[in-house]
Amino acid sequence: MSRSVSRVTTAGRGADLVVVSITAAAGRDPAPSGPVVVVTANVHGDECTGTGVALRLLPLLEAQLRRGTVHVYPSLNPDGLERRARRVPEDDQDLNRLFPGDPAGSPAERLAHAAWTDLVTRRPDVVVDLHADAPGAIPYALLDRAVSLRGRVRARAEEESARLAAATGLTVVHEYPEARYQRFRLDRSLTGAALNRLEVPTVTIEAGPRLVLDAAAVEDTTRACMALLASLSMVDAPPSAPARAGPQGGPWRRDAGPRVATSGVLIPRVAAGVLLARGAVVAEVRSLAGVLLEEVVAESAGFVLAPVERTHVVPGVPVCTWAMAEGT
């Protein structure tokens, strides 16, 4: 096993990125080169689960990696991590909509370019990006849309991404439908760009709350990553996969949940991950005097992925991120 640490200079005032690379020892395997996997975390600086997972993965990989190389980026947005900010503090842009970045652009575009350029030089076979959703959310593996790819290339990238996502043991959810995926510029997220520009299979894992490391979320996500690496024969299978928090079936896709029509106090009525029929009550809105103003019902069969992270709502606010059957 070899371990090396490199730093990526971001050409702005921002902190350097740290990359820790673990390579399996040659000689233990007839094909010691093996796959190259990139694991990135904390592109949204307030989403800390992945940073905790990265730091857990390093000693595990040092002890257990038997084939290939894993490059771990514990934080793609270290200034955001320091400031508890989702965006890049220097210019308040969402780094995860800017890839592959611009060397002559804004600070966030330069950071995206520096991170992207470093990632590309690693020649990854797989990219795994770690995010956090909201308190009360279930952990899930999210699949990008290969909107720029066609034919066999697209099928191969999508199938391999889906296979890797399933290997995590987590509930697998496809991204928003294609038109919204592009309108939200998700093809310029890190995984969206890796899939669409590098034709590399990608998986995003969403787990745990933001801002604080949640032991269960870190544990689940670490096991999910090890299970994914085991499916590539890079490590032995972990003793147990994470408990699947969502319902069986699918494939599922991400959507906005039903929206409230009134202002008031939002009270969730169901836990995330519970399969509901169309018309089931997901949440209610009450006045501060306790009067029931509205029951918010599911517009399709599906389940809550993550409750919205707010208590006072106004008309038009979705009560949750929703998962529904793909193709509906």
Question: Can you give the binding site for Zn ion, defined by CB under 5 A?
Answer: 44, 47, 131
- What would the two tokens of residue 40 be? 């990135």
Contact 136, 306 (CB under 8 A): yes
Q: Smallest distance from the beta carbon of 210 to Zn ion, in angstroms?
A: 8
Q: What is the b/e burial string over 75-97, where b = at least 16 CB atoms within 10 angstroms of the residue's CB?
A: bbbbbbbeeeebbbbbeebbbbb
Nearer to Zn ion, 94 or 199 (CB): 94
Q: Smallest distance from the beta carbon of 235 to Zn ion, in angstroms?
A: 26
Q: Smallest distance from the beta carbon of 29 to Zn ion, in angstroms?
A: 35
What count of other Cβ atoms lies within 10 Å of the Cβ of residue 319? Answer: 25
Contact 46, 28 (CB under 8 A): no
Alpha helices in the chain (DSSP H): 49-64, 78-83, 107-121, 151-167, 178-183, 190-198, 215-231
3-state secondary structure 262-289: CCEEEEECCCCCCCECCCCEEEEEECCC
Q: Classify the C-alpha dihedral 247-251-254-257 as positive or negative.
A: negative
Residue type, 218: V
Nearer to Zn ion, 209 or 238 (CB): 209
Nearer to Zn ion, 44 or 223 (CB): 44
Contact 108, 95 (CB under 8 A): yes
Nearer to Zn ion, 43 or 283 (CB): 43
Nearer to Zn ion, 44 or 253 (CB): 44
Nearer to Zn ion, 99 or 234 (CB): 99
Nearer to Zn ion, 67 or 87 (CB): 87
Q: Smallest distance from the beta carbon of 308 to Zn ion, in angstroms?
A: 15
**Angle between helical axes of 215-231 and 151-167 (0-180°, round to 10):** 130
Contact 128, 228 (CB under 8 A): yes
Q: Smallest distance from the beta carbon of 131 to Zn ion, in angstroms?
A: 3
Q: Which strands, in side-by-side order, build the sheet including 292-297?
A: 292-297, 281-286, 264-268, 312-313
Nearer to Zn ion, 47 or 284 (CB): 47
Question: If you ran DSSP here, which 8-state letter would residue 260 be given?
Answer: P
CA distance 53 to 283: 32
